[in-house]
Copies of this chain bind each other. A is one copy, B any other.
Amino acid sequence: MMENAEKQPPYAQFLGIRVTHISPERVTAEIVARPEFNNRHGIMHGGAIMSFADNLGGTATTANLKPGQTTATIESKTNFFAGIPIGDTATAECIPLHRGAKTMVWQTKITRSDGRLAAIVTQTQIVLEPRGK
A contact set with B: CB distance below 8 Å: 4, 9-12, 14-15, 35-41, 45-48, 50-55, 58, 62, 70, 72-81, 83, 97-98, 100, 102-103, 105, 107, 117, 120, 122, 124, 126
Q: In angstroms, how far is the closest chain B Cβ from the Cβ of A102?
A: 7
Q: In angstroms, how far is the closest chain B Cβ from the Cβ of A16?
A: 12
Question: Are B97 and A126 closer than 8 Å at their CB atoms?
Answer: no
CB contacts (< 8 Å) of A40 on chain B: these are 4, 9, 58, 62, 70
**Within the assembled complex, what's the spacing in Å between the Cα atoms of A81 and B99?**
9
Q: In angstroms, how far is the closest chain B Cβ from the Cβ of A133?
A: 13
A80 in contact with B70 given A58-B40, A103-B126 (CB within 8 Å): no
Report copies per complex. 4
CB contacts (< 8 Å) of A78 on chain B: these are 75-77
CB contacts (< 8 Å) of A117 on chain B: these are 97-98
Q: Could you jot down 15 A-B contacts, CB within 8 Å?
A: A9-B38, A14-B37, A40-B58, A46-B72, A47-B55, A48-B51, A50-B76, A51-B51, A72-B80, A73-B80, A74-B80, A75-B77, A81-B98, A81-B105, A103-B126
Contact of A80 among B9, B62, B75 (CB under 8 A): B75
